[in-house]
Every structure is written in structure tokens, then in C-alpha cells.
Structure 1
Amino acid sequence: MISRGSEWHRWEPHIHAPGTILNNQFGAADPWNSYLTTLEGLAPKIEAIAVTDYYVTDTYEEFIKHKAGGRLPGVSLLFPNIELRLDVAAKTGFVNVHLLVSPEDPEHLLEVKRILKRLQFHAFNDRFDCTREELIKLGKRADSTITDDGAALRHGATQFKVNFDQLRKVIDESEWAKKNILIAVAGSAGDGTSGVRQAADATVRQEIEKFAHIIFSSSPAQREFWIGQRGVSIEELRARYDGCKPCLHGSDSHDQNSVGQPVDNRYSWIKGALEFDALRQACIDPEGRAYVGKQPPRSAIPSQVISHVRIEDADWATTPDIPLNPGLVAIIGARGSGKTALADVIAAGCDAITPAGWDADENISPSFLARARKLIGDATTSLTWGGGATVTRALDGSDANGHMSFPRARYLSQQFVEELCSAKGVSDGLVDEIERVIFESHSQDDRDWALDFAELRDQQTARFQQAREREAEAIADISDRIATEFEKETLVANLTTQVGQKRKLIADYTADRAKLVVKGTETQVARHTQLSEAAQKLRNKIQAYGNQRRTFVALQDEVRSMRATGAPEMLRQAQARHNNSGLDAKQWDDFLLIYKGDVDKSLTAYIAWADGEIRKLNGVPPPPGDPNTALIADIADLTMLPLAPIVAEMARLEALFSADKLVREQYTALTNRIAQENSALQTLETRLTDAQGAAARRKDLQAERDDTYGRVFEAIINEQNALAGLYAPLMARLAASSGTLKKLSFSVRRIADVQTWGSFAEEELLDRRKTGPFYGRGSLIAAATDALKPAWETGSAAEVQAAMTAFMGKFLKDLLSHAPYAPTQQAEFRAWSKQFAHWLFGTEHIAVRYEISYDGVDIRKLSPGTRGIVLLLLYLALDDSDDRPLIIDQPEENLDPKSVFDELVALFIAAKAKRQVIMVTHNANLVINTDADQIIVAEAGPHPSGGLPPISYVAGGLENAAIRKAVCDILEGGEAAFRERARRLRVRLDR
């Protein structure tokens, strides 16, 4: 026994035939040939027919004769539909109820007539049973003019009304009836329960509908109501009506034109084998197994469905041909029976086994093909797809993973799941799979030509990461400048002292020089002093021009370097950052950084200008003359003269001061020394002025750094928002979902690693041995956690900036007091202060991270089993873009039965409507409560020495009694699962 199990077939649950007791419009002549020919030619074809008549089974028995004679070869199932009229008034008549009788019992006709005989109608001071003979009697008693038995039967049928309470009692008292009869009631207003409108009859209507197993209605609204999708929940349906009920619709044909032609092509479809048990299963699972419409519900795309598996050259495969259902296929069996073997064989034919799977250690691998590698031989598998294609693959993996092959199915082998959901922590594989699903949840238009999630993420966030890096570099530069200004501030006192000392030294030298003046030369000395001061001013100017000239030369070097290496490298980096620009080399040339003006010409001119100014200030020495004749007139403006004549005049005057050569040399030496010290004084005064302005500049730089710090967080927040945008489609779907799927959530947030940030400072930057607020380990971390962490992780850029400003205002002096160097250790303190500022304003400890949580717990902290649920959530519920078959080996591993029932059942039910799902399982929940469409039972024989045991398979649907028995014998489950499958398997539980 091997079949595809539960497939959709068209049923005709309500059709009359020629000779029907009431409203027979098929014609007086023999209409059966035309009637049967019409049925045989219908499209879509009818494969199961409930032959309907009022109170009797005459037309059903006639049907059986024609079927035995070779008619209706495409119809596999015939069964009686006995229509009764209750004594409950409807809108235009009475409520009709139908007894659908299973034909499984060879004596079903005798038995149902025995049941009908127990239904009685009282009239004319007499009792009439529901039999052909009694209906004829009733007809004749009701109309004494009728003498023909046929006419009397028809008239009697119009008079006979079944008492609802009696019908319910008769059915309830008969074990045969409860086992073999399904009750259907019309849901229409005319002759159905919808016509029972009086308030006083509301309870009667509810009782009738509760008694019924099936509602005859083609209304989509009624179907939605009866499966718990409109107005009431499934729990309410169970409380009020004994559960959900399938809606079916027939042509109710009473004439040749309407045979098998319901209005608007509202055909009835039942999923299951063509046996009466399929109708019983539809009563258990109305939503999944019964449908009214032109076509049955669509499931997987045919080209993406494996329709047949054939194992060749394998003496161990005693069932080499296995058809597969397009929905949910459950492979069950005892341990070691060959369940995983079949999954591996199918996966091999789909090129879905990874290289790691083929290369797995045969001694420890759960894979059948890996363990049996040395015994497989030349065995192959051939898969036939729903689109008609056939693919053959070797079962030893010799032709696997070729450069032209691609996985045509998704295989969640035990090894694959263990690798992704290891107890050692979330592997990259699980994160990669999650990111793949997130990526594929975006439409093609939103992917910006990216090939995977990582590329899309980089495209969306690169701009903000680059902005963060730029601002972080700016903070580092500003911090260096602030450190320099801090150092200058500390030099004010020292420079002030040095300036005073230098001025006193110059005064002392000047006094010493005055003592060398010979009496009578005072005028010359005074003139010499004037000339010396003028010369000093000229030398200062010459030095300033010299400094400018050196700067211009350095700029020339920088310009040459920028042209040769700097600008081309910056262009190359920009091209690398924006490689999706589509610009060609010529277009990129426009982005090469060049100087706005002719800087070469300008710098050459600036150097020439500085040289000219220096030459003008130096001047040309005058030729030697009379030592007693002044080289510069007393009335000459010294500020307009160059240095050379002034120096010459000073030398002439020095020669006149004394006849003593030694005195003259001392005078000259002191004059030169005074000039040097004046030059040094000017340098010190310049530095002092610069140092005195350092505090103001530092404050400006600190404000600038604060602003830049805020911009760093703007970039971080923008990156966070960009990442959130990547997850938006999936997050929106999860937010709108319910049940298990709602437990899964994605969030993007900032993570501030205060521990690492603070520990670095405590260990590397601060001297915690010093007394103060940050003495000892952990005090800085505690302060930062309280003052900075909330803003770092959830604050806006302005709030982060404000928090850092407040933190510095409160703790900076304390932090500086723990510096390992004193400010007087200039070199060490300067290096430390720069490192300190880089740490304080660094953002390396701030990360933008997306988190995946299940039931509020981060995925990194979940057990391996719960991670397995997350993995199945991805494949079963979220991976909409993947319509390939999904093959899963024992998804319940590491899960308790209740978790399987609570978490996975609904996922499999939803998934099988979109793709073919093939699973190996030993859990009853995943077979029965998912209403598996096909159950393949594996069985292995004795294990021969040096070979593989013979493996056989049988297959069918839950509507098959033998399959149900195998399920009961093999599978296990928890209490809730047991009660649910008891309901599905129609087992009564004693409380």
C-alpha cells in the first residue's frame, strides 16, 4: 500500500438521480444513459458521489447497478445521502437534514434501513415508520384517491416529518449509526437552519446545528463562520456547536440540465483519499480538508514539488518507487527504520546536501548516506518534479555540488540544525540565515542591486559610518589641540618669570655697558643706543620674513606631495567607498582634488617677495670712509633705513668710545649680547602672549569638540535608524502576527560597553592609588554607568552631548587628580593628557547592534532547542521568498512534546499551504495535529553482515485506517497532544 495520501478531489455531496421521489424532472423515458453520460463528461471530474433521495435508498441502489455494469469509471466512491425533513419550520418549508452513510460496511443498506425504521411519524391515529412500505401507506391514508404505489410513496414523503429529538435519540442509541453516519443540515434560509428565524426557535436551530457534522452551504461567509474566522472563535464553536464544521455544496440536481452543475461553479472539494473516511477527516479539520469553489485551494507551485522518488541499483530499497504529496509529508517509523534514509535520498536528488554533509564522519554522523557511504555502491536516486523534469544523482555523492548544480530544496538535516543551534553559542550560520531571510523580505526594488544582506547593510550604513569616522578623527585632532592649549596655560607663570628675568638681565647688561662709556663720548653713546634699538627692530622684521619664507618653501613641498600622492590616493579611497557610482575613469577624474588657484606661481612669488623684503631690510653696507665722519645724519629717520648702514654707523661710534681696545671690545660684546637678549625677550613675550590667550582658545576648542561629539552620535543614530529600516518589513509583519510568530522580535539599538571603556581608564590611564573619588576599582565604571550609559544607549545627539558636558563638569578635576604624572612633568603629562582626551571622547565602545529575541529572550541566551524553534520559524513562517521543498529531519529534537504542540504545529499547517514540506519525525503532534497530507511509514528488516538492511515504505493519509493504526502504534506525545489526536483519530477518552 503506497499512495500520495490526502489530495484534493471533487465530490458531489448532494445530487438526485432519475427516479428520485420528489421533484423528479429527469423525464419519463429512461433518462439514466444521458444522466450518467453527463456525469462522466464533467470537468473538473467528479470522483465521489453522494446519491441523494428522500427517506429511501432506491436511486443509490440503482446507481450501484450501473457502476457494476461499467459506468462512471472515474468515480471511486458512491454512498447514500438520505434526505429527511424535520418537523421544524423554515422560511419556505421545513429544515432538511441529510444522513450521509458510509458504504464501508457491506451490510450498510440493511443497517441504515433498520435505523430509518426507528424514525416514526404519527398521524390518523396511527404510527408510520420511515420505510418504503410505510411511506406508501401514509400516502394512501393522506389521499384516499391515490391507488398507485409510486404516487403514494411520493405523497407520503411530502407528509412524513421527522421529529428532531427522536432522530437525535435514534442516532445516539445506535453504535452503528454513530460510526457510519454523518449528519448534514442545510444552512440556507429556504429549507435550512438559516430559515429558523423566530427567537423562540433559536435554541432549536443551535441544537440542530450542534447535532450536524456538516453544513450544506456554498456561502463564503458561512464557511468563515463555521471555521472560526467570522463572528465567533474556534473555542466558542466548540462550546456552542461541538466544534468547527465543514461547508459543502452540491448541485441538488432534479433535472438533466443541472446535473453536477452547481450555481457559479461552486464545487465541493475534499482533501483525502477517495474513501468515506476522508469526509470524516474533513469534519475534524474543516479548514484544511473541505472547500467550496471553482478550484481547490492552491498549494506549492507544481514545478517546485517533488512528485516521485525512485531509488535504483539499491537492493536494500525494497520499495524503490515512492510518490510524494505536494503538501506536508511525514516520514515516521521506529528508530533505525529508514526514516532519515529517505530524507537523505530525497535531499541528495535535490543537490541539497552540503559538502560538509557528504564529508561527515561516518562513525558519528546522523546522516544515513554518510554512515552507509561504503555500502551504497552504485545506487542512485531519480526525482520527478511536478513540472515534468527528472533528475538523477548518485547516492555516494560522487556527482554532488558540481559547478552547475544548485540546491533545489532546503534540507534541515540534524547535522545542519546542530551546527546552527549549538549550545556553544549562536553560530555565524544561524545569524547568516536570519539575515538572509531579512534580506529576502525586501522587494527587489528595495535591494539596490545588493547581492546579500551584508552588502545591503553596508550600502545603507556606509555613509553614516564614514561620517562617524570623520567626526571621530576631528575629535582626536581637536583633543590634541586642546592638550596643547592646556600645556600653554601651565606655562604662563613660568614665561612671566622668564620675561622678568630677561628684562632684568638686559637692564644689567645695559648698566654694565654704560660704565664702559668714556667721559666726553656720552653723545656718541646715546646715538649708539638709538641705532642699536633701530637695528634690533630691523633684525626682528628680518627674522619674521625668514620664518615666512621657510613656511612658503614647506608649502611648496606639501603641494608637490599632494599632487603626486595625496590627491590620487584620496580619489582612490572615494572610488572604493562609492564603488556603485557607475562612473567611468574619465568621470572620476573630475573628482581629483586640485588647487583652486595657481599655487605654484603664488608660492614662488611669495618666496621672491620675502627675499626682496629681507634684502631691503638688510640694505647694502656703505663703503669705508673717514672714522670721524658720521655715516648717518643726526636728523635722519632711522625707521626708514636698512640694517647695514646702521650696523656700520654703530661700529664707527664704538671705535670712538675709548682708545682702549679692550674696552671697545667689551662694549661691542655687551651691545651684541643685549641685542641677543632683546631678541630672546621678544620671543618669550610672544610666547607669553600666546600662552595668556590659551585659556580662551581652549574653551572655544572644547565647545567645538562638544559639538563634534554630538555629530558623532548623530552619525551613530542615523546608522541605527538605517539598520532599523532594513528590518522594517519583517518587524511590521511580526508586529501584525499572532501566536508563535509574535514571540519573535527584532530590534536595533545602541550598546555602550561601559565596562570596557571604564576598565581601560582604570587600568591604563588613572593612578587609582591616589586618594580621591576614583580610588579603587570600579568607581569610574559606576559613575559612567549612572551618568553616561543611559544617554549613550537611548539619548539623542543633543542629550549625549549634554550628558558628557555634565560628566566633565562634575568629574574632570577629579579625573585629572588621578593622573599618573604631575603637570610639571611636561613631556609625560602632555602625552598622557592626549591619550586621556582620546579615551574620554572616544566612541569605540559604542556599537549599533541588532538583536533577535524570542519570547523576550535574546537569541544568544536561548537553549539549543529553542534556537531550533527560531530556525523553524524562519523557514516555515518567514521565508516567503523560498518556494522550494523544505526537508526537515526530526524538527522536534531537544523539544518537549508540549513545546512542539504549542510552537510548531501551526507553523507547519501554514507552511504546507505554500510549499512542499517533507519531515522525518517521531512526534505525534507533528503528524496528526498538523493533519499531514501523506504519512510514509518506514520499516527496516534484519541487518545483514556487511550490508544494509532491507528498507520498505508504505504511505497514505490519515483517512486510511491502516495508516492511522501505524501512527498510533509508532508515535508518542504529551497529554494535550494525546487528547487532540484522540479527537482526530475518533478515540473516546474516559475522564
Structure 2
Amino acid sequence: MISRGSEWHRWEPHIHAPGTILNNQFGAADPWGSYLTSLEGLTPKIEAIAVTDYYVTDTYEQFLAHKAAGRLPDVKLVFPNIELRLDVAAKSGFVNIHLLVSPEDPDHVGEVKRILKRLQFGAHNDRFDCTREELIKLGKRSDTTITDDGAALRHGATQVKVNFDQLRKVIHESEWAKKNILIAVAGGAGDGTSGLRQAADATTRQEIEKFAHIIFSSSPAQREFWLGQRGVAIEELRLRYDGCKPCLHGSDSHDQKSVGQPVDNRFSWIKGELEFDALRQACIDPEGRAYVGEQPPRSAMPSQVISHVTIDDAEWATTPDIPLNPGLVAIIGARGSGKTALADVIAAGCDAITTPGWDADENISPSFLARARRLIGEATTTLTWGGGATVTRALDGNDANGHTSFPRARYLSQQFVEELCSAKGVSDGLVDEIERVIYESHSPDDREWALDFAELRDQQTSRFQQAREREAQAIADISDRIATEFEKESLVASLTKQVGEKNKLIADYTADRARLVVRGTEAQVARHTQLSEAAQKLRSTIQNFGNQRRTFVALQDEVRSMRATGSPEMLRQAQARHNNSGLNATQWDEFLLIYKGDVDKSLTAYVNWADGEIRKLQGVPLPPGDPNVALIADTADISTLPLAPIVAEMTRLEALFSADKLVRDQYTALTNRIAQENSALQTLQTRLTDAEGAAARRKDLQSERDDTYGRVF
């Protein structure tokens, strides 16, 4: 059982060992000692090894003997990789195909030898099996001057070529082989299927790749092809090749220098337990469980995932220390094993349980913390985040939902899901969830950097709300303003906390983005960072102009409303208060309030000015060009440029950071998220400045109210 769930481990799926039949360059002086020492000292460490040799399992069996003697303690899985050469010519040799054999069967060596015995090669008016003894006979028959069995074995291995149709038939006819052998084929041009480029070879190539479960290739382009992300869709892969396939890459070591050292550190990573079944799972889910690269893919940024849960002062917790991994998607266990309890504990540590959730009736609530409220005692939970930060919370909720707290995660509890599925009608929870989905369906630009649905709604409807409020009753008195300033004063601590958390979140995202930088692209990254800062300044300025424009439009509405209803109503009220004046209608018209200047012309000019400034700052989108040619010269003063060319140059630079699409997408996503969080930080800082001035404004308003009371009384 895996305590942390599925994790990425480095595998070496293709490595030869001292004594390998062909091209053995491991040396004569203690080759196994040097070989094993090199493997034990590798970083990152290898935890699963496929010991490779041509046609036989001799070096695999020697490897197991060294493992049994105590070497390679970090290696948890060893299995044979039997390399065969097909009778299909590639660009510079013959196509190599590999039998990856599960070691789960105690007699797997004997069983695979039975499979190899069924593979026969015709030569010299005779047939030879793919076994050690038969290869020696073939070597001596092919060169009668050879008398040494070892030399004959090596020579025989160079002569034999396995017929592809025969191999496919032997595998399909053996239930043991179908259950215990995975087929891998080289994807390169020299000794792989990419070398079959003639039209006449197209069908053969497709049949070989369809027969294989795994492609041995480190090329990002090949990986994207076999995942249905380049050239062909997944449905076409299923039709032509029986589905997507994982790409793996090994060092193919034939000498001590290259042991476990593939070119450009293109290591193979498999997600799952260290057993052969993890390789089978990778064939089912190649995108999620197989990867080639210097580091395994990050499913989430370290600062945004929980790495450990600790429950203290809780005798009822049989497992108080629980490690988690970044890719965790499910908690699995028997009924009553504590799944809901663990979810509740994590939610409590994230400040993600609402006040109604803490106050739920312990007799009917499905929440563990609510049902066990009387037994919780002084238990606490401590969450350790991937970035190293820790937070401790009481499990009875006594420190929850404080004015400085905010949820680090969204908790859709069992109670919440049950309410959504019930027939009680539209609940507050459902409305909140609908609002969240609507908000997140808008891009950051469409949201105009609103922090939540309420702010987005206010932005889009403020004109109409203000018009309605003016029609109904628009103006608040001094006491309301004083109450507002009191509320703002109370927000100082909360906003200060949020600004600090937002700064830390931006720093974490920036650190996460820095980890994605590939060696050799530092100059492009530095230029991208410079452009990103300039873009953020422009977006902030555009946001300010947008706020000004909305204010001008709202003022236009207010002017029209004042003329249409406000001033006439004030005149009618005056007439009612002074009905004995004796003034006629024409005389009363002189009392109608009007604006001193031509406000219509002024406001129209202000709106046009704001639109013009926004257009100048946004600029005109550039047409696609050569990705290797800079759109902005290094000597250009980017502070004078509009947003569109800067964004286009940033997009061009992002495509150069890495050949790996996943890394590029992560870098782009983090850049966009940093920009969004910076805009949110600016909004928070503006609110904080306003809240910090509330005390002085409140005192002035109280003095004004005292003066008003004096005049009244």
C-alpha cells in the first residue's frame, strides 16, 4: 500500500550491463563493481531498472545475484529487457524491438526462455532458436574458425533476425506472454520505426507500432504525437495503432561512462508504485503516468499543495501523521475508515469550513467534526504546504473564520453535495457555486480584474443599480457615512493580512515560474520578465482609465436622471411646501435646478478622452511572424510601447523557453496568474489605504454631525 498515493519515480527501461553480448565496452577490471557503484551514485536516483541484453537473460540473472548480495538498496524493481532485431531494415540497421518481462512470476526467466525458443531463424539449410545454445551453434556454423562459445554466441547474435509476423504470432498464442510481456519498439531513425520512410514500408511500420505497447523515444514531438496532441487525434490513434502509447527513454549504456546517463538528462519517469503493474498503467494512461525529462512533471506548484497533515492531541486518531502527494485526487478506504474525517481535518486546516458548517446539528450533519464535536477535545491539525509553510488550526472551530482568515482551498463537503442533489430548491450553496462558475468562465480581461463574482456583477450593473437607487431613494445621511467609516476601520487588520498573503502568493508563483526556466534560455526569461513588468504597468493604467470611464458614464446617467426626475421632483416638493406662494407655473419654472455649465459636452469629451487613452495604451495586435525574430528591438524603450506588441513579444519568447509543451503551458499560465494577482494586489492596497484614512474621516463626520444637531436643536 502506498502511503502518499501515486508518485513519480525514475525508471531506467533500457540499460545494458557488463557481459552484454554485443558492444560490451564495460572493461575487464572489475566491471560489475564500477557499474554498480555508478548506478548507486546517480542523481536523481533510479528505483526501477530493466536490465537489457540481446536474446538472452544472462546479465539480468547476474544483476539479480548482485542485488541479492546487498547492492543497489534504492532499486526496488528489476526486470529483464530482451532486445531483438527484426528482419525489417531501418535507416542504418534493423528495427530493434524489446520484450519487457514482468518479474512477478517466480519462474519468469524460464517462461520467457520458452517464448524465445519458439522464435526461429533459418540459415545454412537449418533452423536455429533464439536461445543461448542455438545462437552458439549458429555462430560456429556461420564462421567455422570460431571455437570459443562466447565468441560464437556474439557472432550468432549478429546473424539472427527475428521475423516480425512470427514474433507477433508467438506472443498472441501464449497467454503467459500476453499477461507478462510488454512490447517496446525503438522510435528513432537509425534502428527504429522512424527509419521506415519508404511508401512500401508504411504498412509494416504501422503494424509494428500497433503491435508495440511502448515507444522508446525522448523526442517531445514523438511524445506529443503518441498522445494525440500533434498530427493525429486520439480517435485516429485508436483506429490505426490501438490507442495512445507512452514514450520512454533509457541510457542504452554499453560502457561505464554512460551508465544511467541518457543524452541531455532525458530521464524516464513513471507515476505509480514501484512494481511492473505501474508500467502497465502507464500504457493505459500514458499522458498522466509516463514522462521523459530532467525532472518529473509538476501537477501543481509546490506552494499551492499540501504535503503533510498532522493531527495533535487526538488519542482517537490512529494515524496522526499523513503524508500527501501533489497529484492526490481521491481518498479511498472502507466504510468507516475515516475518509470524511480526513477531508474535514484538511478543510479545517485550510480555513475552508464555513460558519454554518461548524454550527451544524451534530445529530444530522454528515460532517465528522460536527458529529464528533463533544469528543474532539483540544485536538488540532497542522498542514505543511509544499513550499514549507505550516498552519495550525483547532478542530473544534474555536479559531475559525476570524477577520484575518481566508480559505486556502474550496471544500465541497459531503453535506454540500447532498444539498445540491436534494429537492429542496435553490440553496445558498448552489447559488454561490453558480456564481463561482460564471465568474471563472470569464477571462481576466473580461472580468476587468474583478476579485470575485460580486465585484464583477457590481462592475457590470453599477450604472443600472445607481439609476434605480436614485429613482427610489438615493442619498444616505451622515450617520450612514460614519457607520461606513467604522466598518472600514475594522477592515484594516484583515486587509493588511490579505495584502501580506497576496505578496507571499505572488512571490511563491514567481519562484515556481523560475523553476521552469530551462538552461540556455536565461536571456529570453530575463527579457520576458522585463516585458511582463511593463505589461503589468500598462494593464494597471488601462484599468484606471476604465474606472474613470465608468465614472463618466455613470455621471451622464445621473445628469439625465436629475433632469428627467430629480429636479422636477424637487420643484414639486417645493411647490407643495409653499402652496400659498401664489406663483403661477411660468414663475415656478424659474426655480427648476439646472447645471451651470455644458456638462453633456464635457462628459462626452471625458468619455472620448478615456477611450482614446485606452486605445493608445492597448495598441494594435501584430500579425504572426517568424518566431525566431524579435518583435521588439533590445534597444527599444519599452516604457513608450503599447500593450499589444509587448504581449506578442512575450508570447513569442514563451515558445522558445522549452521544447516541452507542458513546460511552456505552465510558464504561460504562471505569467498570467502573476499578472492577475498583481492587479488584485493593487486593488487590495487601494482599499487598505482608504481604510487607514477612515478614522480621520469619521472624526470629521462626527464633528459635522454634532454641528448639525446643534443647528437642529
Taking the aligned partners of 2:289 and 2:376, their CA distance within structure 1 comes to: 40
SS at 1:258's partner residue? coil
TM-score by length of 1: 0.47
Match of 2:97 in 1: 97
Closer, same or farther: CA 450–96 of 1 in aligned 2, 3 Å: closer
Match of 2:640 in 1: none
Q: Which runs of 5+ in 2 are unaligned?
A: 463-546, 573-582, 619-668, 675-713
Mapped contact 2:17–2:51 kept (Cα < 8 A):
yes
| C-alpha deviation, 1:302, in angstroms | 1.5
Match of 1:351 in 2: 351
Matched, 1:317 2:317: yes
Match of 1:264 in 2: 264
Letter in 1 for 2:30: D
SS at 1:366's partner residue? coil
Matched, 1:289 2:292: no
Taking the aligned partners of 1:347 and 1:126, their CA distance within structure 2 comes to: 72
After superposition, where does 1:683-722 map in structure 2 within 5 Å? none
SS at 1:463's partner residue? helix
Match of 2:339 in 1: 339
| C-alpha deviation, 1:232, in angstroms | 1.1
Closer, same or farther: CA 463–289 of 1 in aligned 2, 3 Å: same
Match of 2:707 in 1: none
Matched, 1:139 2:139: yes
| C-alpha deviation, 1:380, in angstroms | 2.8
Closer, same or farther: CA 275–334 of 1 in aligned 2, 3 Å: closer
| C-alpha deviation, 1:334, in angstroms | 5.2
Match of 2:425 in 1: 423
Match of 2:118 in 1: 118
Match of 1:214 in 2: 214
Taking the aligned partners of 1:419 and 1:433, their CA distance within structure 2 comes to: 17
Match of 2:696 in 1: none
Closer, same or farther: CA 168–74 of 1 in aligned 2, 3 Å: same
The one-character-per-residue Cα deviations of 1:279-331 (angstroms, maximum 9, x if unpaired) are: 11111111111111122112212222211223344444333332212113312
| C-alpha deviation, 1:390, in angstroms | 3.5
| C-alpha deviation, 1:406, in angstroms | 3.0
| C-alpha deviation, 1:335, in angstroms | 5.2
Q: How many residues align?
A: 512
| C-alpha deviation, 1:437, in angstroms | 3.8
SS at 2:411's partner residue? strand
Taking the aligned partners of 1:418 and 1:62, their CA distance within structure 2 comes to: 59
Closer, same or farther: CA 881–197 of 1 in aligned 2, 3 Å: closer
Taking the aligned partners of 1:397 and 1:210, their CA distance within structure 2 comes to: 57
After superposition, where does 1:119-268 map in structure 2 within 5 Å? 119-268=119-268
SS at 1:328's partner residue? coil
Taking the aligned partners of 1:94 and 1:439, their CA distance within structure 2 comes to: 54
Q: Say which of 436, 439, 444 aligns to 1:441.
A: 444
Taking the aligned partners of 2:34 and 2:447, their CA distance within structure 1 comes to: 55
Letter in 1 for 2:266: R
Mapped contact 2:237–2:243 kept (Cα < 8 A):
yes
Match of 2:484 in 1: none
Closer, same or farther: CA 412–244 of 1 in aligned 2, 3 Å: same
Letter in 1 for 2:121: F
Mapped contact 1:440–1:881 kept (Cα < 8 A):
no
| C-alpha deviation, 1:249, in angstroms | 0.9
| C-alpha deviation, 1:356, in angstroms | 1.6
The one-character-per-residue Cα deviations of 1:569-599 (angstroms, maximum 9, x if unpaired) are: x9xxxxxxxxxxxxxxxxxxxxxx8x9xxxx
Mapped contact 2:307–2:384 kept (Cα < 8 A):
yes
SS at 1:240's partner residue? helix
Closer, same or farther: CA 227–86 of 1 in aligned 2, 3 Å: same
Match of 1:370 in 2: 370
Q: Which runs of 5+ in 1 are unaligned?
A: 484-546, 571-592, 596-707, 729-876, 883-991
Mapped contact 1:216–1:248 kept (Cα < 8 A):
yes
Match of 1:411 in 2: 411
Taking the aligned partners of 1:115 and 1:469, their CA distance within structure 2 comes to: 88
Closer, same or farther: CA 59–351 of 1 in aligned 2, 3 Å: same
Closer, same or farther: CA 26–369 of 1 in aligned 2, 3 Å: same
Taking the aligned partners of 1:23 and 1:206, their CA distance within structure 2 comes to: 30
Letter in 2 for 1:180: N
Mapped contact 2:447–2:456 kept (Cα < 8 A):
no
TM-score by length of 2: 0.65
SS at 1:388's partner residue? coil
Match of 2:55 in 1: 55
Higher relative contact order (CA 8 A, sep 6+): 1
Taking the aligned partners of 2:62 and 2:419, their CA distance within structure 1 comes to: 64
Matched, 1:463 2:552: yes
Taking the aligned partners of 1:115 and 1:327, their CA distance within structure 2 comes to: 39
Mapped contact 2:439–2:452 kept (Cα < 8 A):
no
Taking the aligned partners of 2:387 and 2:567, their CA distance within structure 1 comes to: 67
| C-alpha deviation, 1:161, in angstroms | 1.1
Taking the aligned partners of 2:333 and 2:195, their CA distance within structure 1 comes to: 51
Closer, same or farther: CA 138–450 of 1 in aligned 2, 3 Å: closer
Taking the aligned partners of 2:173 and 2:321, their CA distance within structure 1 comes to: 46
Mapped contact 1:171–1:177 kept (Cα < 8 A):
yes
| C-alpha deviation, 1:119, in angstroms | 1.0
Taking the aligned partners of 1:445 and 1:319, their CA distance within structure 2 comes to: 46
Closer, same or farther: CA 430–467 of 1 in aligned 2, 3 Å: farther
Closer, same or farther: CA 74–368 of 1 in aligned 2, 3 Å: same
The one-character-per-residue Cα deviations of 1:86-121 (angstroms, maximum 9, x if unpaired) are: 111111111110000111122111111111111111
SS at 2:20's partner residue? coil
Letter in 1 for 2:366: P
Mapped contact 2:139–2:157 kept (Cα < 8 A):
yes
| C-alpha deviation, 1:443, in angstroms | 10
Taking the aligned partners of 2:354 and 2:64, their CA distance within structure 1 comes to: 55
Mapped contact 1:117–1:131 kept (Cα < 8 A):
yes
Match of 2:659 in 1: none
Letter in 2 for 1:260: G
Taking the aligned partners of 1:200 and 1:110, their CA distance within structure 2 comes to: 38
Match of 1:326 in 2: 326
The one-character-per-residue Cα deviations of 1:394-438 (angstroms, maximum 9, x if unpaired) are: 222123233443322221224445678973377653465357647
| C-alpha deviation, 1:393, in angstroms | 2.5
Identity, in percent, stands at 76
Mapped contact 1:352–1:407 kept (Cα < 8 A):
yes
Mapped contact 1:47–1:74 kept (Cα < 8 A):
yes
Closer, same or farther: CA 302–164 of 1 in aligned 2, 3 Å: same
Q: Say which of 453, 456, 464 aligns to 1:453.
A: 456
| C-alpha deviation, 1:61, in angstroms | 1.1
Closer, same or farther: CA 234–445 of 1 in aligned 2, 3 Å: closer
Closer, same or farther: CA 440–361 of 1 in aligned 2, 3 Å: farther
Taking the aligned partners of 2:568 and 2:448, their CA distance within structure 1 comes to: 44
Matched, 1:388 2:388: yes
Taking the aligned partners of 1:38 and 1:2, their CA distance within structure 2 comes to: 28
Match of 1:691 in 2: none
Taking the aligned partners of 1:101 and 1:420, their CA distance within structure 2 comes to: 49
SS at 2:555's partner residue? helix
| C-alpha deviation, 1:29, in angstroms | 2.4
Taking the aligned partners of 1:187 and 1:229, their CA distance within structure 2 comes to: 17
Report the structure number with the largest CA radius of gyration.
1
| C-alpha deviation, 1:473, in angstroms | 3.5
| C-alpha deviation, 1:259, in angstroms | 1.4
Taking the aligned partners of 2:127 and 2:407, their CA distance within structure 1 comes to: 72
Letter in 1 for 2:55: Y
Letter in 1 for 2:432: G
Taking the aligned partners of 2:441 and 2:189, their CA distance within structure 1 comes to: 49
Closer, same or farther: CA 477–304 of 1 in aligned 2, 3 Å: closer
Mapped contact 2:436–2:453 kept (Cα < 8 A):
no
Letter in 2 for 1:433: R
SS at 2:325's partner residue? coil
| C-alpha deviation, 1:374, in angstroms | 2.0
| C-alpha deviation, 1:224, in angstroms | 0.9
| C-alpha deviation, 1:477, in angstroms | 8.3
Mapped contact 2:5–2:328 kept (Cα < 8 A):
no
After superposition, where does 1:462-861 map in structure 2 within 5 Å? 462-476=551-565
Taking the aligned partners of 1:302 and 1:479, their CA distance within structure 2 comes to: 63
